[in-house]
Amino acid sequence: MTTTDNHFYDLVVVGGGQAGCAVALTAAATGRTVAVVESRPGGPGGASVHETDLPAAVCRETAALLRAIRHAGECAVVVPDQPEPDFAGLARRRMARVAAAAADMGRRLEAACVKVFNGRGYLAAADTVMVLDCETGDDIASLRGRTVVIATGSSPAPPVWFQPDGRHLLTLPQVYALRRWLKSALIIGGGPDACEVASFLALSGTSVNIGFPQAVLLPQAGDDMSRHLATAFQREGLSLAASATATGCEAVDGVCTTTLSLADSEELIRTEAVIWAGPKRAVTDNLGLRKLGIATDDASGAIETDACGRTAAPTVYAVGACADPECTALEARLRGEWLAANLAGERAPFPTPRNLIRALATEPPVAWVGLTPAEAQAACPGAVTACIPLPDNLNQPASASGLAAIVGDAATGEILGAQAIGAQAAAFVSALSIARQFEYGVADLAGLIPADPAISIPLASTARAWVTAASGHR
Ligand X SMILES: Cc1cc2nc3c(=O)[nH]c(=O)nc-3n(C[C@H](O)[C@H](O)[C@H](O)COP(=O)(O)OP(=O)(O)OC[C@H]3O[C@@H](n4cnc5c(N)ncnc54)[C@H](O)[C@@H]3O)c2cc1C
- Tell me which residues touch ligand X (CB under 6 A): 14-20, 37-40, 46-48, 52-53, 56, 120-121, 151-156, 172-173, 193, 196, 280, 283, 287, 320-321, 327-330, 332
For residues 193 and 272, which CB has a smaller minimum distance to ligand X in the complex?
A: 193
Minimum Å gap between C-beta 291 and ligand X is 15
For residues 24 and 384, which CB has a smaller minimum distance to ligand X in the complex?
A: 24
d(CA 18, CA 32): 19
For residues 102 and 435, which CB has a smaller minimum distance to ligand X in the complex?
A: 102
CA distances from 165 to 134, 146, 160 (A): 22, 42, 13
- Phi, psi dihedrals of residue 328, rounded to the nearest 5°: -85, 170
Minimum Å gap between C-beta 102 and ligand X is 10
Minimum Å gap between C-beta 238 and ligand X is 18
Minimum Å gap between C-beta 30 and ligand X is 20
Minimum Å gap between C-beta 132 and ligand X is 8
For residues 195 and 416, which CB has a smaller minimum distance to ligand X in the complex?
A: 195
Whether the CB-CB separation of 418 and 429 falls below 8 Å is answered with yes
For residues 173 and 389, which CB has a smaller minimum distance to ligand X in the complex?
A: 173
Whether the CB-CB separation of 400 and 234 falls below 8 Å is answered with no
d(CA 360, CA 230): 14
- H-run or E-run covering 4: strand 4-14
For residues 168 and 358, which CB has a smaller minimum distance to ligand X in the complex?
A: 358
For residues 204 and 328, which CB has a smaller minimum distance to ligand X in the complex?
A: 328
Minimum Å gap between C-beta 467 and ligand X is 34
- Phi, psi dihedrals of residue 256, rounded to the nearest 5°: -100, 130
Q: Residue 103 half-sphere exposure, CB side, CA atoms within 13 Å? A: 6
Minimum Å gap between C-beta 334 and ligand X is 11
Minimum Å gap between C-beta 249 and ligand X is 18
For residues 249 and 332, which CB has a smaller minimum distance to ligand X in the complex?
A: 332
441 DSSP 8-state letter:
B
DSSP string, 304-372: P--TTSB-SSTTEEE-GGGTSTT--HHHHHHHHHHHHHHHTT--PPP--GGG--EEE--SS-EEEEE--
CA distances from 440 to 128, 403, 409, 437, 471 (A): 48, 22, 12, 8, 18
